[in-house]
Amino acid sequence: MEKKFFEYSEKAQRTLSEANQKMSNTGFKSIQEIRVMSENLFKRIEELDSLDLSLVPTLRQERKEAIRKIQILCDTLDHHVRSVAELDQHNFNFKNSNVTWMSLLQHSYSIESGNATPNLEFLNELSKVDHKDIASSLQTYRLFMNEFHPLSLDVKTRKEEFQKLITDSFKLLLNIVQIVQPFYQQLSPITHAQQVANQFIQTVESQWKTNGLASLANTIVPNSTCTYSQLCAHHVNVLKKTIVQLETSKDSSLLKEVRSIHISQSMKALVKLEMLSNLLNICPVLQSVSELLANNGNHVTSLKQAQSQLQGISKMVENLKYEEGLDDLYYLQIAQTQSSYMFMSSQLPSIISFFTSIEEFSKHNKNW
């Protein structure tokens, strides 16, 4: 019986050593191998327990200690198998209870890899995410993951995959809270400013075609206390601010495309508004100078007043350029404005000089 005991004991020790060695360096290839090892350890217990050592008290104590060590390891392996099942269940539960989130996460992967672009619809979905609820469930899984240590290579891979899912989810949640949601909140007034500015442009262009810009410039806008010229300048300032807001918002690959689109939309409207602002300031002056010349063309004081008015708009006339985004309505007005300004500016000095000479001559020859 003693010989049998030492045979079983040595066999149990080899199995125990093999199990401990594999546990210490994730030496198990699969969870199935762990189950087999657990079964082998249990067999060692059965073998030792089957021996009748009633006549050998010293060996009974040794057997008891050997079985205790094996049982501890068996319990550890059995607990690990249950933990692996729990890991798989957590993974399954998270993916199936957060289908929309998983879809958003997958789309974010596509954006980061360059295979997709983040459109406004995607940002809208991100902005609706209940980040607190998802973060809470992720935190529960994270605590489990911190305490779970895989013993086999296949489970190690499964843990790493789920760990990546948790890490990537937290990363996307952080982007949503710190970047996407603030940007989305900021986007609403920006979009409104763009819409109002474009409506103003359409209104001005419509009346421009009918009545011209000179008469429109100082006309009070309906339901307002501002003139069209003043309101145009206001829209210019507002759109410039929207561009600054968009350009200085926190950078993220999720926002790149949408931000670029809205900057482009603001810039497109701004090109027209800045041109309209210049024209609304220039055209009334040109009309005034033209009327001044027509009614008081032989008065030197009136002529000098007209010359001063033209000098006051010289910088604005210089800013009249044929920019991309303007149509024929603007190009024609720019050409006419520049032509009128150049003609009157070039003719006035000689006209003033001529009438000044006549006045001087008249002063010295009053008795004629």
**Pairwise CA distance, residues 325 & 318, whole Å:** 19
Q: Over the stretch 213-253, which tens digit does the pLDDT of each residue have?
A: 998 988 999 988 999 999 999 999 999 999 999 988 887 77
Q: What is the pLDDT of residues 80-139, one digit of tens each?
A: 888 889 999 999 998 998 899 999 999 988 888 888 877 778 888 888 888 888 888 888
How far apart, in whole angstroms, are the C-alpha atoms of residue 119 and residue 96?
25
Residue 180 counted as domain residue: no
Region 23-37: mean pLDDT is 79
| pLDDT at residue 279, rounded to an integer | 94
| Residue 62 pLDDT exceeds 90 | no
Mean pLDDT value across residues 341-358: 82
**Which stretches of the chain are assigned E, i.e. beta strand?**
none
Residue 255 in any domain: the answer is no
Write the CA distances from 160 to 2, 11, 15, 31, 199, integer angstroms: 48, 35, 29, 15, 54
At 36 the pLDDT is 84
Residue 361: the pLDDT is 58
Q: What's the pLDDT tens digit per position in 183-216?
A: 888 888 999 999 999 999 999 999 998 888 998 9
The conformation of residue 366, written as its DSSP 8-state character, comes to: T
Percentage of the chain exceeding pLDDT 90: 32
- Residue recorded with tokens 């030792």: 48
Lowest mean pLDDT among 1-15, 117-131, 325-339: 1-15
| Residue 243 neighbours by CB under 8 Å, 6+ apart | 263, 266, 267, 270
Average pLDDT of the chain to the nearest whole number: 85
| pLDDT tens-digit map of 238-296 | 999 999 999 888 877 778 888 888 999 999 999 999 999 999 999 999 998 888 877 76
The alpha carbon of 9 is separated from its chain's Cα centroid by a whole number of angstroms, namely 66
283, part of any domain: no
Please give the pLDDT value at position 56.
Answer: 66
Please indicate whether residue 41 or residue 239 has the higher confidence score (pLDDT). Answer: 239
Residues in a beta bridge with 227: 220
Residue whose pair of structure tokens reads 């979905």 in the numeric block: 125
Please tell me the total count of domains within the chain: 1
Dump the DSSP string for 159-226.
Answer: HHHHHHHHHHHHHHHHHIIIIIHHHHHHHHHHHHHHHHHHHHHHHHHHHHHHH-HHHHHTSBPTTSSS
Strand partners, 28: 152
Question: pLDDT band at residue 55, thresholds of 50, 70 and 90?
Answer: low
Where residue 173 falls among pLDDT bands split at 50, 70, 90? very high
In a domain, 205, yes or no: no
pLDDT of residue 160: 92
Domain that holds residue 38: 2-175
The mean per-residue pLDDT over the stretch 343-364 comes to 76
Whether residue 61 is predicted with pLDDT greater than 90 in this model: the reply is no
Contact 204, 236 (CB under 8 A): no
Task: Return the sign of the alpha-carbon dihedral for residues 156, 157, 158, 160.
Answer: positive
Residue-level pLDDT at 27? 73
The whole-number pLDDT of residue 297 equals 58
Please check whether residue 323 is in contact with residue 271, taking contact to mean a CB–CB distance below 8 angstroms. Answer: yes
Predicted local confidence at residue 248, as pLDDT: 87
Q: Which of 100, 101, 48, 96 is nearest to 70 (CA)?
A: 48
Q: What is the pLDDT of residue 1?
A: 56
- Domain membership of residue 29 (yes or no) is yes
Q: Which tokens sit at 339?
A: 């032509």
